[in-house]
Amino acid sequence: MSRWGKWLTGMLAAALLAGCAATTAPVEQAAVVAPAKVEKKDVAQDPRLVITTAEVMQLLAGPEAGNYVLVDARPEVKFNEGHVPGALSIPKPMLEKSLDKLSKDKTIVFYCGGLKCELSPQSAEIAMKNGFEKVKVWYEGEPGWTKAGNYLEVELPYIEKLVTKGGTEPYLLVDARPAVKYNQSFIPKSVSLPKAEFELKKGLLPADKSIPVIFYCGGYACKLSHESADLALKLGYTKVAVFAAGEPAWKEAGLPMWGDQASGVALKPKADTGGLPESITVDEFKKLVAEGKVQVIDVRSATDFAAGHLPGAIHVFDEDFIFKAKESVAKLPLEGRVVLHCSTGGRAGGAYYAILGESDYVNKKNLQYLDKTITVGADGTFVIE
């Protein structure tokens, strides 16, 4: 970092501390030097449990189809945004209550967000303590899958959010069915690129190959979206996904369809209830913290919180919003801006949805979460990537 960059970082840290002091209990003046980036260590790997990305790919492609279960241990919101095809979503906090979904006769493979993610080994430990013997941990997880050149699958809640609520990040939703099917009815904002005409019409795909491209077709039995996704990967696109449930799931959910045989349901603008977008931008988060106009809720582990947290932050472990919902929600302010954060956004997102769906919290309209990687120093200063 240049001397000029270090000076700017120092000034920002000073502003943050000054702003927080105006609305929270006095805290000891912290150093204004931003913390050095602390690289989170890889989780310890048990050699007896290790299964590699190559081996997982062989499992999915080979004859072992009915002999294993692939379990995604991340929060459901992350699963919906992109998971390994065929995986079952059982977030680690819910595993104890969901073991009846698993068979002790099959090999259970747990994965999560990569080599630094603790959720999959923790899930494996829970399973083994409950009598499961055929257990594996895929430590490389979802990042290892995409790095190996594979596509992900996404779920209806994620597609619905993209289409009906929009956002600032570009993406392309592609209908891989024949044009005649597309013309009859299609998911709003999607473009027609029939698998059979892929080579002819591939120019419809983004010039920027880092833009997410999501293919869908006629549901789980339809292979067109999967075949199109493979073709996109071969062209060099790096963020390729398949909405496997496709057009049937969208229609069954009563969501609007466009085309000659449209559903007759019109997209309506979001009601102006004063509610905020679910995730907060980095700039707004920094501004609110600097001005002392937000209550930060740190949902990381107690150990991480003790090692360093934002001045004035309240600690509530993310899993407590599921298992101790009433007493956890009682710790949240009844008015004003409230932002949840963890280390990478996953746990914060899970806590956000738990509060919205399972609690009577009266200040939901002012609740958001930070869906970014944040490193907090021992002195309370922070860096967001």
Q: Where are the domains of the chain?
A: 13-41+276-384, 53-147, 152-252
What SS3 class is residue 68? strand
Consecutive sets of 10 residues in the chain, 385 residues long: mean pLDDT of each?
A: 43 41 46 62 96 95 85 97 97 96 97 97 98 98 98 98 86 92 93 92 97 96 94 98 97 92 50 69 97 96 94 94 90 96 86 84 95 92 93
CA distance 258 to 183: 8
For residue 18, the model assigns a pLDDT of 42
Q: Collapsing DSSP states into helix, strand and coil, what is residue 192?
A: strand
d(CA 204, CA 174): 10
Q: Work out the angle between the directed axes of helices 3-21 and 282-291 (0-180°, nearest 10).
A: 50
Give catalytic residues, as residue numbers. 112
Q: Is the distance from CB of 348 to CB of 369 less than 8 angstroms?
A: yes
| pLDDT at residue 319, as a whole number | 85
Instruction: Please say whether the beta carbons of 329 and 341 come within 8 A.
Output: no
The correct CATH number of 53-147 out of 3.40.250.10, 3.30.1360.40, 3.40.50.12160, 3.40.50.1820 is 3.40.250.10
For every residue of 80-132, DSSP letters joined together read HH-B-TT-EE--GGGSTTTGGGS-TTSEEEEE-SSTT--HHHHHHHHHHHTT-
13-41+276-384 and 53-147 share one fold: yes
Residue 179 near residue 192, CB atoms below 8 Å: yes
Residue 270's pLDDT is 41
Query: What pLDDT score was predicted for residue 262?
Result: 59
Tokens of 109: 């493979």
5 exposure class (CB count in 10 Å sphere: 0-12, 13-18, 19+):
exposed
In this prediction, residue 165 carries a pLDDT of 85
**Cα 61 to the center of its chain, rounded Å:** 26
- Taking the C-alpha atoms of residue 53 and residue 136, their distance in angstroms, rounded to an integer, is 12
pLDDT score for 188: 96
Answer for the pair 196, 178: CB distance below 8 angstroms, yes or no: yes
If one looks up domain 152-252 in CATH, what number appears? 3.40.250.10
The reported pLDDT for the residue numbered 36 is 62
Class of the CATH domain delimited by 13-41+276-384: alpha beta
Strands 172-175 and 68-72: unpaired
Q: Vertex 358, ends 354 and 362: CA angle to 5°?
A: 95
CA–CA gap between residue 165 and residue 159 (Å, rounded): 10
Give the pLDDT score at 169. 86
